[in-house]
Structure formats: structure tokens, C-alpha cells
Chains A and B, each alone.
Chain A
Amino acid sequence: MTVMRALPATMSYAVGFGVSSFTAPPTHLRSRRFVIVKVSAEPSDKSVEIMRKFSEQYARRSGTYFCVDKSVTSVVIKGLADHKDSLGAPLCPCRHYDDKAAEATQGFWNCPCVPMRERKECHCMLFLTPDNDFAGDEQVISMEEIKELTVNM
């Protein structure tokens, strides 16, 4: 049970497409096919919207800017949303964890992570200090931009 929870929500069933990664397919289908399709679940729109608003607000509050290349920002926001959907907390998408669920409850890598809060270091390139080469001059990103830039992921 713990092992299943620790695994990321990439093990989603390809049976229903508007179904979130958590719900298992109905029993009659589950018993028929034992093929687990490891597809990265597309995060729900609601989570993406929440993380988008959070990113804008935190960038303003910390005086940091988004990357010149907004596709990086979009991908990270979607990654945060994906973790929020599967784990309940927006774990940093640019790290590999031994036990994701444990890390989510522990909180060191929950966005905004401790390195960001203490030293404004975001290795995901989501929040960039103005002196960073990759920093743009925007602290906003729209939902359309996110959708456009992650359309073929």
C-alpha cells in the first residue's frame, strides 16, 4: 500500500481520458486487462490554475521574475500541479525522490522549497532573481500561454 502511494501518478490507466489519475477503472475492465500504461498524467486544469496564481503571487512577493523562455515556466507550473494532484502537495518537479509521499509530508521540497525561501535559489528556473542571465522582466503568465507552450507534452 505504501509502495503504491510512493510511486508517482504516472501509472494512470488509459481507459478513460477525463478521469483523474487516482480513480481506478471499473472492476470489469480491471480484471480483463492487466496492462498498466505508464503515461504521465496531465494535471487537472484546476490545479494548474492554482499553481499559476501561486507562481505569479510568489514572484511578486519575492521580487523574482519568470524565465525569458516561458515554456520552462509553463512546464514547471504543470509539474507542480501534477504533484499537487497526486500527492496533495506541490513537490518540486525538478528533483528525483526516493519516497515522494514522505517528502511531501516532510515539506523541505514543497514549493516554495527551503532553498528558495532562504536564498532565493530556484533550480527549476521558475523564480529567477533579476541578476540571473535567464531572467525575463515578467511576473505574470496566462493560462493560454501555459496551454500553448505545453501542447505537445
Chain B
Amino acid sequence: MLLASTPFSFYAPPKLLLQPSPPLKTRDVATIFSTTTKSPISLLQSPPRRLLATPPPGKFLRQDYLVKKFSAKEIQELMKGERNVPLVIDFYATWCGPCILMAQELEMLAVEYESNAMIVKVDTDDEYEFARDMQVRGLPTLYFISPDPSKDAIRTEGLIPLQMMRDIIDKSL
């Protein structure tokens, strides 16, 4: 009895949903198809969900870190070019423990500041010469560079609390 009712309920809804625009039709049919894996009881109890708009293509799924790794060339271009937000450069190494904690803090900072500050990281094992030129010694080292070229850059070594980073960015902005 239950099996007989399943094909009936399976075919009935698409007729109603075929009325809206074509892109929806295929999507809703796909939705209906997906619900066939559920038990027939659940199919009868809840109506199939209608999607009113196509979901975004999921590009944000690939960007899992806000703080991007930059090469020396890219940073030099950034520094030469026009900027209107402070730039924070994080020098780190793969096997440096505190750099991991610092990276987590910088991710939080990136979420907070969004486009009000540009936060990037540089792997000192990759960019050996650049790190040497910037006189990086202890890791992690942070450079806070103001958009105003007349202001000096601020440099901190080691793990610093989040509030201190916020204070430095707010002051130099």
C-alpha cells in the first residue's frame, strides 16, 4: 500500500512546480529526486522544498583563509603603489609554534577589519632575501605599515595580544 502511494506522490508535485521559470524546473526535479532516498513517510509528511533562487557558486568554500600568503615581489608592488589602508605583514615559518597562534589572531583581525586593513603573510623560508632585507630575526615578526608614507613602520617581534594589534592599527591609521 505504502509502495503504491510512493510513485503517486513522486509524480504529483512536479506538475505544480513546472509552472515557474525553466531553471527552477530542473532544480526542483533534482530536489524531488533527492527526496526519493528518504522514506516514503517523510515524503508524504513534508512537501519538497522549493528553491526560489540558485545558490551562489560556492566560491567562498575555496577561500578558507582570509590572510593570504604573498611573495616578496607582490609585497614590493603593494608598498610602491597607492594605498589607503594600513598594511600588516606577518613574517612566519612553517615550523614556528607561536606563528600558528599569531596566524589565528590575524585571521580574527582580518574578519574584524575586513577591508579597513590589508593583512598578508610571508613565509621566511621561501622569501629568504626579503626577510633578510627587512631584518627579520625572531619569529613571528609583524610589520605595521601606515598608508601615509611619511609615518614610520612599526615592527613587533613575538606573540602580541590582539588588543595591542588593534591599538597599533588604529593609531597608525
Q: Which residues of A contact B (CB under 8 A)?
A: 7-8, 10, 38, 40, 67, 69, 71-76, 78-80, 82, 93-96, 98, 123-126, 153
On whether A94 and B94 interact (CB within 8 A), knowing A10-B125, A72-B100, the answer reads no
On whether A94 and B96 interact (CB within 8 A), knowing A38-B126, A123-B138, the answer reads yes
Q: Is B85 an interface residue (CB 8 A)?
A: no
Q: Is B101 an interface residue (CB 8 A)?
A: yes
Q: How far is the CA of A76 from the CA of B140 in the complex (A)?
A: 13
A98 contact from B91, B94, B95, B132, Cβ within 8 A: B132
Secondary structure call for the B interface: loop
Q: Is B124 an interface residue (CB 8 A)?
A: yes
Q: Is B131 an interface residue (CB 8 A)?
A: yes
Chain B residue nearest in CB terms to A7: B128
Please indicate the chain A residues that have their CB under 8 angstroms from the CB of B124 in the complex: 96
Most A-side CB within 10 Å, residue of B124, B137, B139:
B139
On whether A79 and B93 interact (CB within 8 A), knowing A94-B138, A96-B124, the answer reads yes
Please indicate the chain B residues that have their CB under 8 angstroms from the CB of A79 in the complex: 93-97
**0/1 interface trace, chain B 130-173, chain A, CB 8 Å (1 if under):** 01100011111100000000000000001100000000000000
